[in-house]
Amino acid sequence: MPKSRIQKEDLLKKYKDLIESKSGFLLVNSDKIDTAKVTTLKIELKNVGANFSVLKNSIFKVALQDTKQPLQTQDFDGPTAIIAFDEDPTEPAKLVKKIQKEAELLAPRSGVYEGEFLTAERVMQLADIPSREVLLSRLVGTMNTPLTGFMNAITGNVRGLTMVLKGISEKKA
């Protein structure tokens, strides 16, 4: 059933708000996916601060043009869904990769993150990047390593002196 002009305008406004309010989005091929998988995916995406919706391509392309998104993003055809996220693009990309491995569904098409165009290959590369929390913990560990080495060097000298003094006192006794 075709949409009325008012429905199309509402949908266009919704797409514009979605594009402008989120830090990025991934476009995926949404054919061949069943309702059960979509429901599971929506729940998992909600847990990582993202959402999933199937697009009306012609209206979404107009929204992309109106919001001045990269031109490469506007080149897609066929059933398409959008995964919009607020902060970390790695978690939604990991979920897409997981579902694609399980059932050959949701092939990534492209995406945009903070105004930069992402090809399908770059979307899949995002899935291999550790999450923000893991990267921060690695950074803290890296920053902590020199301090640990310094403390070991200082306590090593004191420990050595203590062992020498203990050996001397035992030798005299």
131 and 92 Cβ atoms separated by less than 8 Å: no
Q: Show the CA angle centred on residue 134, arms to residues 131 and 138, nearest 5°.
A: 140
Give pLDDT tens digits for 110-136. Answer: 888 888 888 888 888 888 888 778 888
Residue 102 reports pLDDT greater than 80: no
CB-side neighbour CA atoms (13 Å) of 172: 6
Per-residue pLDDT averaged across 17-41, rounded?
85
> Is residue 109 within 8 Å of 80, Cβ to Cβ?
yes
Q: Is 108 helix (H, G, I), strand (E, B) or coil?
A: strand
How many CB atoms sit inside 10 A of residue 17's CB? 12
Among 40-44, 103-107, 119-123, 137-141, the minimum mean pLDDT is found in: 103-107
Q: What pLDDT, on the 0 to 100 scale, is given for residue 146?
A: 80
Confidence of residue 14 (pLDDT cuts 50, 70, 90): very high
Which residues on neighbouring strands pair with residue 84, listed in sequence order? 25, 51
Kindly report the average pLDDT of the chain as a whole number: 84
- CATH of range 5-129; options 1.10.167.10, 3.40.50.410, 3.30.70.1730, 3.40.980.10: 3.30.70.1730
Q: In angstroms, what CA-CA distances link 123 with 102, 110, 139, 149?
A: 17, 7, 24, 39
Q: What is the mean pLDDT of residues 156-173?
A: 83
| Residue extents of the structural domains in the chain | 5-129, 130-173
**Per-residue pLDDT at 156:** 77
pLDDT tens digits, 59-98: 888 888 888 887 676 777 888 888 999 888 888 888 888 8
Mean pLDDT value of segment 36-63 = 87
Q: Is the pLDDT of residue 13 over 90?
A: yes
β-pairing, 24-29 vs 50-54, is unpaired
